[in-house]
Amino acid sequence: MASPIEMAAMRRAIVLSAFGLGATSPNPPVGCVILDASGRVAGEGYHERKGSAHAEGNALAAAGAAARGGTAIVTLEPCNHAGHTPACRALLLDAQVARVVVAITDPTSRGRGGVAELRAAGLSVETGVLAEEALKVLGSWRRSLLRGRPTLTWAYEVAGGRVRGAVGPVAAADELLWEADAVVEAGGRLWEAVSDRHGSGMMRVPPRWDGGDVAALVAALAAGGVRQLLVSGGADVAEPFLREGLIDEVVVFVADTGRPADRLVSELGLLAGFRIEHVGRSADHVRVLARRDDLREDVAQLA
């Protein structure tokens, strides 16, 4: 069973992992904390972007020799294959850590997976530690793999009885942009959020969408590495995605116009079939997050 020190380190790793949101796809945003043999934090890191060192590599580099005999706390099962970077399983063994604590096992593991190989090498390995909390960061990535398509978030603003896209008029929507891999807006504008921010050219996103076959569009985006798609606009933009059952969550910004009758309008009825997960208040908006009723994670399967 994970100790209180290890659980505190896992929460630290979860927060670290969020710095990779919107920058690592098609890879997952992962965080890692290395505890030395006495349980003190010796190093930490996260996966910054595709092609760069994984979280374990960055954390082990920061810890150096202090990792020997210590514990690696990681939000996702260490990978067991080499690609642009060495296998994290090999890095952990080379560093001579004694124990590995994992939040979520990797559905993309090749062969026996990193956990099985680490155990075979004699390390103590525990999985499923704070898995539900780790999903706050890894959930969209994991769902996209299990379902074979990106997780779709529809964001819009309700203001003065009108509905419009949330990207642009609402400053709070900037957080959604940072978490998205790609964005589709009114008029068929489709752009790659990651490239726009980092110039990575990481994914292959066409510049426009003709408003046609949304299933084909989503499939093409998945093939290009998109794991989180943001749909920003009114019902005209979202309707074809809703019709195909592709919208997974909705973020509504309800503007405070000073007139209560304008704050809630019939368009909020589009949330039918979704359950409210969070409601928050800013200076000029109420932010509502709702997810599909069937969008539930089976935490028992994550370990």
CATH number at residue 117: 3.40.140.10
Q: Does one domain contain both 113 and 180?
A: no
Distance from C-alpha of 121 to C-alpha of 200, rounded to nearest angstrom: 37
Is 173 found in the same domain as 276? yes
Q: Say if residue 139 is in the same domain as residue 158.
A: no
Q: Are both 224 and 286 inside the same structural domain?
A: yes
pTM for this one?
0.83
Q: Give the residue carrying structure tokens 């973020």.
A: 251
Q: How far is CA 49 from the centre of its chain?
A: 13
- Asked whether residue 174 falls in the same domain as residue 131, the answer is no
User: Which comes out higher in pLDDT, residue 111 or 236?
Assistant: 236
Q: Are residues 200 and 74 in the same domain?
A: no
What CATH number is given to the structural domain containing 190? Answer: 3.40.430.10
Task: State which residues form the domain around 105.
Answer: 4-144
Q: Are residues 183 and 265 in the same domain?
A: yes
Domain edge (last residue) among 144, 170, 197: 144
260-292 pLDDT, tens per residue?
555 554 455 556 788 888 888 877 788 888 988
pLDDT in tens, 183-201: 888 766 776 665 455 444 4
As a dihedral over the C-alpha atoms of residue 94, residue 26, residue 143, residue 242, rounded to 10 degrees, the angle is: 170
Residues 125-150: tens digit of each pLDDT: 999 999 999 999 999 899 888 889 99
| Mean pLDDT across the chain | 83
Higher pLDDT, 196 or 235: 235
Per-position DSSP letters for the chain, written without gaps between them: ---HHHHHHHHHHHHHHGGGTTTSTTS---EEEEE-TTS-EEEEEE--STTS--HHHHHHHHHGGGGTT-EEEEEEPPP-S-SSS--HHHHHHHHT-SEEEEEE--TT--TTHHHHHHHHTT-EEE--TTHHHHHHHHHHHHHHHHHTS-EEEEEEEEETTEEEESBTTBGGGHHHHHH-SEEEEGGGBEEEHHHHHH----S---SB--S--HHHHHHHHHHTT--EEEEESSHHHHHHHHHTT---EEEEEEE--S-HHHHS-GGGGGGTTEEEEEEEE-SSEEEEEEEETT----GGG--
Q: Whose CA is closest to 249, among 265, 236, 223, 230?
A: 230
pLDDT at residue number 8? 97
Q: Both 113 and 78 in a single domain?
A: yes
Pick the last residue of a domain from 144, 161, 186: 144
Q: How far apart are CA 201 and CA 203, in angstroms?
A: 6
Do 295 and 154 lie in one domain? The reply is yes
Q: Which of 109, 125, 144 marks a domain boundary?
A: 144
Q: How far apart are CA 117 and CA 109, in angstroms?
A: 11
User: Quick one: pLDDT band at residue 40, thresholds 50, 70, 90?
Assistant: very high
Model pLDDT, residue 127 = 95
Dist. CA 90–CA 109, nearest whole Å: 14
Task: Report the C-alpha gap between 78 and 111 in whole angstroms.
Answer: 13
- Is 289 in the same domain as 156? yes
Give the count of domains, the chain. Answer: 2
Are 154 and 63 part of one and the same domain? no
CA distance linking residue 73 with residue 52, whole number of Å: 20
In this structure, the answer to whether residues 98 and 233 fall within a common structural domain is no
Q: Which of 6, 44, 48, 56 is catalytic?
A: 56
Say if residues 102 and 127 touch (Cβ distance below 8 Å).
yes
**Residue 179 annotated in active site:** no
